[in-house]
Amino acid sequence: MPAAAPQPHPFATLDTAAAARALSQLAPGDPDAGGEDGADDWADAFFERVEEVELPADGAAPGARLRREEGLALRLVRGGRTWLAARDEIAPEAFSDALRQVARVLPSAFYPEPRLDVAPWSAVGGTGDPAGLDRMAELPFAVARAIRARHVAFPVRLSVRRHRRHVQVVGPRWVPEPESERFFSLRADLPWGRWGTLVPEPPSDSGADPEAALAAAAEEVAEALVERFRSRHAASPEPRRDAVVVLGPQATAVFLHEAVAHALEADTLGLGGRPEAAVGVPLGGPALSVLDDPGSAPLSVRRRSDDEGVAVARRWLIRDGAVAQPLADRRWARGSEVLLPGAGRRASRHEPPGPRSSHLELLSGDGEADLVAGAEGGFLVSQVARGALDPLTGRFVLEVPCARRLRHGTPAEPVGPFRIVGTVAGLLSRVAAVGSEARSAGAGWCAKDGRLLPVWATTPALRLEGVEVVA
Amino acid sequence: MSTAPAAERRAALDAVLEALAVHGLPSAEIYAKRGRARVIEETPGGVTVSYHREEGWAARAGDDRRSLFAAATGAPSPDGPGGGGWPEADGEALVLADPGGSPGLFDEPGEGWREPPDLDAALIGEREAAGLLATLRGELSAELPRARLLRARLSDGASEWEIASRVAGTPGVAAGARGRAAIVRLEAVLEEGGKSGARPSAATLEIALRQASAVDPRALARRLADRLSVAAQGTAPDHDRAVALLAPAVGTRLLAALSPLFFGDAAGERAEALEDRDGRLASDAVTVVDDARLPGGVLDAPIDGEGSPTAPATLVAAGVRRPPLVPRSAPRRSRDGRGARRWACMRRPGWRDLPAPGPSHLYLAPSADVGVGEMLRDVARGYYLIDLDGSPRVDLAADRVSLPVVGFRIEGGAATGPLAGATVESGLGALLRRIETAARDLTFFPLAGGMVGAPTLRVGAVEIRRR
């Protein structure tokens, strides 16, 4: 199937210089952009365009679903207070109206109306990217074939969505490159539960074979669904406090997202005091090094700057078992000598940015450890349904929908649902070994505070010893 | 945001319907919504004041073989979402709500419905909102000096929406409505220590009202303080079986978990599995109603998400289940045999979302002649469960419910100590059939995609365990 030519960024024609000039009337000396000495205010504009194409399961009505939205948000931060005005259109009047609103001036006050030309939406299934849509439609069939190839059959309803998001941030004195994210989300409804994952859209200009990438994704999805099927009648394990649990890469990604990323977000840390106080605190053994690096995420969701326009960095969250650099956005990093911005993410123009992870990496182990050796009676956990962290108590729960018992160094009979419970510090201190082969895994939706964000990870497997499991 | 008068907006919707007909889709429905909101959020990271103007629309269209859904920001466009054309219809046929019987377009309220007087009231101002939260913070610390409001979010919004449709080329519904809603979400903590050496505790409270100006900060502070102090000092019995009073915060969570028994395709089957041998779902003290026109209700509206005229529906009458509700657009082939009622029960959380059946104001009917005080006095030994401190686990298929609760021990009609770290464990149907009395204090919370209300309930022989 021929790859479509790359489309120009929809915000390529935006008059960002004019928008920057208008913003400079609000906050002329943005300190993060090398502005005037002593300036404490900043302002920015956020332009967003989002498209979602959905193919429902089994062709249910309505058959083809398309959602398109675009809009802008203006923000002024002054003395610890933030004013934000959001609109569902990108137009000069909307911009200047929002500007007046965050400046809290009368409607009669004059602000310039910058020209805000954006590219027209392309036709869906027409000249836009027919190959991409065909690949998307193929994904459920590829999963169904992969399930059949495992000689099992069970009812499953698969729906798939294609997500495309384009953003442009503009500050009074800096304009980063526009950013784009392209990925698929897949949801499977089974009689015994729901399962979902995210798959990066194979980029048309990367030289990679998009069909091969989607076939590999279909195999992974099928593997997970078949495991759910095979364990559907399996009994939950007896509660115990000394279990050995080997988390596969997908399960490790969810574990790290909940136990490390959320725990080290500046706003989470801020609930209990100064986020900076966490730096240097031991968290996990010396084998544990975890990073957040949006710049090494899969190509089609890779970022150079965050949703505040700040350049992203390869950020060590935990280095050799100690907290190194919590996740922070501009607001939390302002005035701090320790916190660095670059992890600001927005669920939409209608939400203020917050510090969040984008792409977690767990550094691989030394290649010598056999993670299942000596784990007799332990559990091999390939998938985790969800995790939950209580930020005030550090209490942590990982919900495991199914697993395999480990016997004689190999995965044996299926095990029914159970939970891994403990505290973040307690569970991370139980990390006994890290696998040697990291791979892209565990992508999913993060819904902290009801703000939905896609998150990605590259991790090896992980062995925990002496953890508490409950049915 | 579009400020066009009603006639222009109607013409815009008709233009889209016409364009879809030209596109070969004779059945179509257009939904357009505009809204504005002011939000103030206080967190340890600072204060954020935001102003939102939202405008979007959605179309469902099809014929007897295929269908599509398209949604976009801005005003409805005959050129498709974003002006980029319409997606190719695919999949199955589209069924729309029966035409006729809907209220007039936009400014003519439906028969028997009176537009609430507060729709044009101004949104809460920045200073007023900040003052309200400051009062709340002060009241909380007066009630409990070691309590701290961690996060507070107050939003006040107004919206309006219209729906127009054509069914197989003939005019369908043409209706509109307006709404107001304010939502307050609070998270507070109690630091450990104090004279009693209490544990640290946390509490979350979310309420919805029609207007932010109706928020009572003192009442909210008292509720948070009760929750925090009980969770900090309470203990739980290993195992007990006693009378329990379920406060509205507990009863509403239980009722919200039951909403799949009342709405949609498989509701009847799910509910049947919970009934006893006499076909009773609950005790005769239980009457459940869903009323989209509840006077003063946050979601009070003359039409549902498909433009059909709303009306109250009794779902459980004195413990006996009535037929569940399916939307007026539900295919007849799948509904008539099961005895479900076609009702205006479609909800649209936002313009991006497909309409789905669900509750508007779903509530357990109160008893006007029973006060909470006298209900308490009548408890010789038992528990007053004031809130949940975790997510309830409700398994409709397995007929099991597990509610993590906090509250008070009651002896001789008076509170004798706080209860925390406890779980109510029960069969779901059995719990519903042990409800003995409902009080008069009907209170609503935003749950299950709508508003869910319950009064304080007295339940006999509830099993309580330590977590």
Reference B365, options B246, B455, B443; nearest CA is B455
CA distances A442 to A87, A147, A249, A334, B324, Å, are 34, 20, 7, 32, 39
Task: Give B 122-161 residues with CB within 8 A of chain A.
Answer: 126, 150-151
Which of A65, A84, A88 comes nearest B50 by C-beta? A84
Amino acid of residue B344: A
Contact B71 A66 (CB under 8 A): yes
Amino acid of residue B113: W
Cα–Cα dist B18/B32, whole Å: 16
The residues facing B89 across adjacent strands are: none
The residues facing B450 across adjacent strands are: B447
Contact B68 A62 (CB under 8 A): yes
Contact A61 B94 (CB under 8 A): yes
- Chosen from B1, B47, B69 to mutate, greatest number of chain A CBs within 10 A: B69
Tell me what pLDDT residue A2 has.
47
Residues near A424 by Cβ (< 8 Å), separated by ≥ 6? Answer: A259, A260, A263, A283, A389, A394, A396
Contact B51 A331 (CB under 8 A): no
The secondary structure of B365-408 as a DSSP string is: PP-TT--HHHHHHT-SEEEEEEEESS--EEETTTTEEEEEEEEE
Which of B44, B352, B354 comes nearest A271 by C-beta? B44
Model pTM?
Answer: 0.93
Q: Note down pLDDT in tens along chain B; length 467 residues.
A: 455 677 888 899 999 999 999 999 999 999 999 999 999 999 999 999 999 999 999 999 999 999 999 999 999 999 999 998 999 898 889 888 865 555 554 455 566 778 899 999 999 999 999 999 999 999 999 999 999 999 999 999 999 999 999 988 888 888 899 999 999 999 999 987 665 666 788 999 999 999 999 999 999 999 999 999 999 999 999 999 999 999 999 999 999 999 999 998 889 888 999 999 999 999 999 999 999 999 999 999 999 999 988 999 999 999 999 999 999 888 765 544 457 899 999 999 999 999 999 999 999 999 999 999 999 999 999 999 999 998 898 999 899 999 999 999 999 999 999 999 999 999 999 999 999 999 999 999 999 999 999 999 999 999 999 98
Contact A61 B91 (CB under 8 A): yes
Contact A64 B72 (CB under 8 A): no
Which of B49, B55, B81 comes nearest A68 by C-beta? B81
CA atoms within 13 A on the CB side of B409: 16
Tell me what pLDDT residue A211 has.
80
Q: How many residues would you count in chain B?
A: 467
DSSP H stretches of helix in A162-282: 210-230, 249-256, 266-270
Helix, strand, coil share of chain A (percent; to 5): 25, 35, 45
> What's the distance, Cα to Cα, between the start and end of chain B in Å?
51
Contact A267 B85 (CB under 8 A): no
Contact B12, B75 (CB under 8 A): yes
Contact B46 A122 (CB under 8 A): no
Which of A65, A71, A271 comes nearest B69 by C-beta? A65
β-pairing, A240-247 with A290-292? unpaired
Helix, strand, coil share of chain B (percent; to 5): 20, 40, 40
Which of A82, A128, A393 comes nearest B48 by C-beta? A82
Give A83 to chain B, closest Cα distance, Å: 5
Residues near B267 by Cβ (< 8 Å), separated by ≥ 6? Answer: B260, B261, B324, B325, B326, B340
Contact B66 A63 (CB under 8 A): yes
- Chosen from B57, B60, B90 to mutate, greatest number of chain A CBs within 10 A: B90
Q: Is B202 on the interface with A (CB under 8 A)?
A: yes
Contact A69 B72 (CB under 8 A): yes
Taking one residue from A and the other from B, the number of pairs with CB-CB distance under 8 angstroms is 158
Task: Give B 344-373 residues with CB within 8 A of chain A.
Answer: 352, 354
Q: Dihedral through CA A195, CA A200, CA A202, CA A204, nearest 10? A: 140
Tokens of A81: 């207070």
Contacts of A122 in chain B (CB under 8 A): 84
Q: Is B414 on the interface with A (CB under 8 A)?
A: no
DSSP H stretches of helix in A85-209: 92-103, 130-148
User: What ipTM did this prediction achieve?
Assistant: 0.92
Give the chain A residue nearest B42 (alpha carbons). Answer: A81
Reference B433, options B279, B266, B323; nearest CA is B279
Contacts of A332 in chain B (CB under 8 A): 45
DSSP annotation of A299: G
> Cis link prior to B359 (omega < 30° from 0)?
no
Contact A68 B72 (CB under 8 A): yes
Cα–Cα dist B258/B395, whole Å: 10
* pLDDT tens digits, B291-349: 999 999 999 999 999 998 899 999 999 999 999 999 988 876 554 445 789 999 999 99
Contacts of A390 in chain B (CB under 8 A): 202
* pLDDT tens digits, B190-230: 987 665 666 788 999 999 999 999 999 999 999 999 999 99
